Amino acid sequence: MMEVGMAMAMKVLLSLCCVGACSLALYLYHTVWVVPQRLLAGFRRQGIGGPRPSFPYGNIADMREAVAAGKSAPRAGGRIVHDYRPAVLPFYEKWRKEHGPVFTYSMGNAVFLHVSRADVVRDINLCVSLDLGKSSYLKATHEPLFGRGILKSNGEACAHQRKIIAPEFFLDKVKGMVDLMVDSAQTLVESWEARVDKSGGTLDIKIDDDIRAYSADVISRTCFGSSYVKGKKIFLKLRELQKAVSKPNVLAEMTGLRFFPTKKNRQAWGLHKQVHRLILEIVKESGEDKNLLRAILHSASSNKVGLREAENFIVDNCKSIYFAGYESTAVTAAWCLMLLGLHPEWQDRVRQEVLHVCGGRPLDSQSLHKMKNLTMVIQETLRLYPAGAFVSRMALEELKLGGVHIPKGVNIYIPVSTMHLDPKLWGPDAKEFNPARFSHARPQLHSYLPFGAGARTCLGQGFATAELKILISLIISKVCAQPLAALSPFPSTASSTTTY
Binding positions for heme? 458
CB of 498 to ligand HEM, least distance (A): 8
CB of 46 to ligand HEM, least distance (A): 25
Cα gap 375→370, rounded to integer Å: 9
Binding residues: 458
Using CB under 6 A, pick the residue from 40, 151, 181, 336 that binds ligand HEM: 151
SS (H, E, C) 424-467: HHHCCCCCCCCHHHHHCCCCCHHHCCCCCCHHHCCCCHHHHHHH
Backbone angles phi, psi at 415, to 5 degrees: -80, 110
Per CB under 6 A, does 463 bind ligand HEM?
A: yes
Per CB under 6 A, does 453 bind ligand HEM?
A: yes
Per CB under 6 A, does 325 bind ligand HEM?
A: yes
Residue closer to ligand HEM (CB basis): 271 or 466: 466
Using CB under 6 A, pick the residue from 225, 460, 483, 491 that binds ligand HEM: 460
Using CB under 6 A, pick the residue from 150, 245, 293, 363 that binds ligand HEM: 150
Chain centroid offset of residue 239 CA: 13
CB of 338 to ligand HEM, least distance (A): 15
Write each residue from 174 to 213 as x if it is in contact with ligand HEM (CB under 6 A), else as -, in one continuous string: ----------------------------------------
Cα gap 104→409, rounded to integer Å: 13
Residue closer to ligand HEM (CB basis): 121 or 150: 150
Q: What does the angle CA 474 – CA 478 – CA 479 come to, to the nearest 5 degrees? A: 110
Pairing of strands 388-395, 399-401: unpaired
Using CB under 6 A, pick the residue from 59, 104, 242, 332 that binds ligand HEM: 332
Are 183 and 177 a contacting pair, CB within 8 Å? no
Q: What does the angle CA 247 – CA 133 – CA 385 come to, to the nearest 5 degrees? A: 55
Per CB under 6 A, does 133 bind ligand HEM?
A: no
Residue closer to ligand HEM (CB basis): 32 or 494: 494
Torsion sign (Cα): 216, 173, 388, 311: positive
Non-local CB neighbours of 146 within 8 Å, separated by 6+ positions:
139, 152, 316, 319, 320, 323
Residue closer to ligand HEM (CB basis): 40 or 470: 470
Write each residue from 24 to 43 as x if it is in contact with ligand HEM (CB under 6 A), else as -, in one continuous string: --------------------
Closest CA to 316 of 145, 155, 108: 145
CB of 392 to ligand HEM, least distance (A): 7
Backbone angles phi, psi at 254, to 5 degrees: -75, -35
Closest CA to 330 of 465, 230, 215: 215
Using CB under 6 A, pick the residue from 450, 473, 494, 497 that binds ligand HEM: 450
Pick the stretch among 67-75, 150-158, 344-352, 355-363 that binds ligand HEM (CB under 6 A).
Answer: 150-158
Q: Rule CB under 6 A: which of 274-303 touch ligand HEM?
A: none
Per CB under 6 A, does 500 bind ligand HEM?
A: yes
Per CB under 6 A, does 110 bind ligand HEM?
A: no
Write each residue from 382 to 421 as x if it is in contact with ligand HEM (CB under 6 A), else as -, in one continuous string: -----xx--x------------------------------
Using CB under 6 A, pick the residue from 99, 162, 173, 175 that binds ligand HEM: 162
Per CB under 6 A, does 466 bind ligand HEM?
A: no
Per CB under 6 A, does 147 bind ligand HEM?
A: no
Cα gap 470→291, rounded to integer Å: 21
Cα gap 205→221, rounded to integer Å: 25
Backbone angles phi, psi at 51, to 5 degrees: -65, 150
CB of 462 to ligand HEM, least distance (A): 9
Per CB under 6 A, does 329 bind ligand HEM?
A: yes
Residue closer to ligand HEM (CB basis): 107 or 151: 151
CB of 151 to ligand HEM, least distance (A): 5
Neighbours of 148 (CB within 10 A): 20
Residue closer to ligand HEM (CB basis): 219 or 271: 219
Q: What does the angle CA 134 – CA 237 – CA 474 come to, to the nearest 5 degrees? A: 85
Cα gap 119→125, rounded to integer Å: 10
Neighbours of 96 (CB within 10 A): 17
CB of 198 to ligand HEM, least distance (A): 32
Non-local CB neighbours of 404 within 8 Å, separated by 6+ positions:
46, 48, 102, 113, 120
Backbone angles phi, psi at 74, to 5 degrees: -65, 145
Cα gap 108→269, rounded to integer Å: 24
Residue closer to ligand HEM (CB basis): 222 or 265: 222
Binding residues vs ligand HEM (CB under 6 A) = 150-151, 158, 162, 165, 219, 320-321, 324-325, 328-329, 332, 387-388, 391, 450-453, 456-460, 463-464, 500
